[in-house]
Amino acid sequence: MKNRNIRGAQAVADAAVAAAQAQHTAVAGERTAAAVVRTLVRAVLALDVEIADIDAKITLRFREHCHAEVVLRELR
């Protein structure tokens, strides 16, 4: 909101946070949905780690190639 020059952005944000913290109503299925989201987040985080590991392996393998320096030089 600040980025869009909305007057009183901090007050609106504070009111929204206060309202959210004061909420005591539970919605049917809320716990189940939270458990599903938690499971999905863990899966995404695990995939991020796996992707980083694979990327590192690809980088190491590429640098072992006899033409790696030539390719890197051409990319610069």
Tally of domains in the chain:
1
* 62, pLDDT greater than 90: yes
Give me the domain span that covers residue 38: 2-75
* 57, pLDDT greater than 70: yes
Q: Helix 30-64 crosses helix 68-75 at what angle (to 10 degrees)?
A: 110
The structure tokens listed for 11 are 């007050």
Task: Report the pLDDT value the prediction gives residue 4, as an integer from 0 to 100.
Answer: 65
Instruction: Using the structure block, give the residue that is written with the tokens 């694979």.
Output: 54
Instruction: Using the structure block, give the residue that is written with the tokens 């299925």.
Output: 29
Distance, in Å, from the CA atom of 10 to the CA atom of 22, rounded to the nearest integer, reads 18
Left (φ > 0), alpha (ψ -120 to 50) or beta: where does 27 sit? Answer: beta
pLDDT (tens digit per residue) in 26-44: 888 988 999 999 999 999 9
